[in-house]
Amino acid sequence: MQTINKYILLAGVVAISIFASCEKDDPEIPHEEEVITTLTYTLTPVSGGDVVTMTFQDLDGDGGNDPVITGGTLAANTAYVGELNLLNETETPAHDIGAEVKEEDEEHQFFYQVAGGLNLSVTYADVDADGNPVGLSTTLSSGDASQGQLTIILRHQPDKGAAGVSTGDVTNAGGETDIEVTFDVEII
């Protein structure tokens, strides 16, 4: 009987050792979409003139109240330096999401889509560590008088090597959309 108890005890020790030595890897937490309550796009004319500020603000997040979106009026045939600022104002003090995007620039890219006859072109003025565009800083060139829409899209983990992505085409980018805002813009 003592021999059987010794074998049971030995089997128990071996089982405990096996289970104790097996370590699970930490679970991989999927990317949580950033909470972005405020997007400000500030456009400064290169040759001087009035600064244009376009804003999106949705302090209560998805659902609830509609966001407040303010487009802008640009001067015709003018070059602008564009800077994006992103905040999560549900926290106090507000969390600077733009700084986080800049820190994780290889995992993010903004896309700028011009529609509705708007005579405007947007080019990237910043790149990540691999030389791929990010889009927190841009250069805009307005053409003749027109009106339409400018849509700004932030993608998390886009395929920056896919066809057209480096030139701002979101079609093949993949990834997850963190924010997408459409501004009404007029060029006079």
Amino acid at 72: G
Amino acid at 125: A
Contacts of 71 (CB under 8 A, 6+ apart): 54, 150, 183, 184, 185, 186
Measured between alpha carbons, how far is 33 from 25 in angstroms, rounded to an integer? 23
Tell me which DSSP letter residue 75 carries.
Answer: -
The model's pLDDT over 52-91, given as tens digits with 9 standing for 90+, comes to: 999 999 998 777 899 999 999 999 999 999 999 999 999 9
Question: Residue 3 has what pLDDT?
Answer: 53
Burial status of residue 176 (CB atoms within 10 A of its CB: 0-12, 13-18, 19 or more): middle
Residue ranges of E strands in 75-175: 79-88, 95-96, 108-115, 120-124, 137-142, 146-156
Percent of the chain with pLDDT over 90: 79
Question: How confident is the prediction along the chain (188 residues), in pLDDT tens digits per residue?
Answer: 555 544 454 445 444 444 444 444 444 444 456 799 999 999 999 999 999 999 999 998 777 899 999 999 999 999 999 999 999 999 999 999 999 999 999 999 999 999 999 999 999 999 999 999 999 999 999 999 999 999 999 999 999 999 999 999 999 999 999 999 999 999 99
Structure tokens at 159: 């395929």
Question: Residue 26 has what pLDDT?
Answer: 44
* Domain at 34-187: CATH code: 2.60.40
Asked if the peptide bond before residue 93 counts as cis, ω within 30 degrees of 0, the response is: yes
- Please compute Rg for the chain using Cα positions: 25
- Residues 131 and 109: beta-carbon distance below 8 Å: no
Distances (CA, A) of 62 to 33, 35, 67: 12, 10, 9
